[in-house]
Amino acid sequence: MNMTREQLGALSSLALAHVGDAVYELLVRASLCASGVPRADALHQKTVSYVSAPGQASAAERIAPLLTDEETEVFRRGRNAHVRSVPKGASVGEYHAATGLEALFGWLYLAGHHDRLTALSKAILGGE
């Protein structure tokens, strides 16, 4: 996709996070498959470790120094979005950071910045 700045600006942070959740999980799953994790149960366990709120909060910390000012602002907006509930396995802070990461990935995808998504995914997943 290649949405304009105006179109992207009209979306709520939670709408961006909605898209970003799927984009991030797909990138994690594809990377794990490419790394040669052979069994479905192992793939599932590794995927969950990355896509859970604590895993996403850790990923957000890892890429924070790499973000541009604009990306940092999108992340901040997502992190500060009002969420109604927090999953049992996450702290409020982790869940907010995870929402920020998802908003960033949704924004990058919808803006058509696929090379940047790949670069940030590699920074998060390392050798996976």
Q: Which residues are catalytic?
A: 21
**Residue 34: its H or E element:** helix 13-34
Q: Which two tokens stand for residue 91?
A: 């702290």
Closest to 77 measured CA to CA, from 14, 1, 5: 14
Task: Answer whether 23's CB lies under 8 Å from 109's CB.
Answer: yes
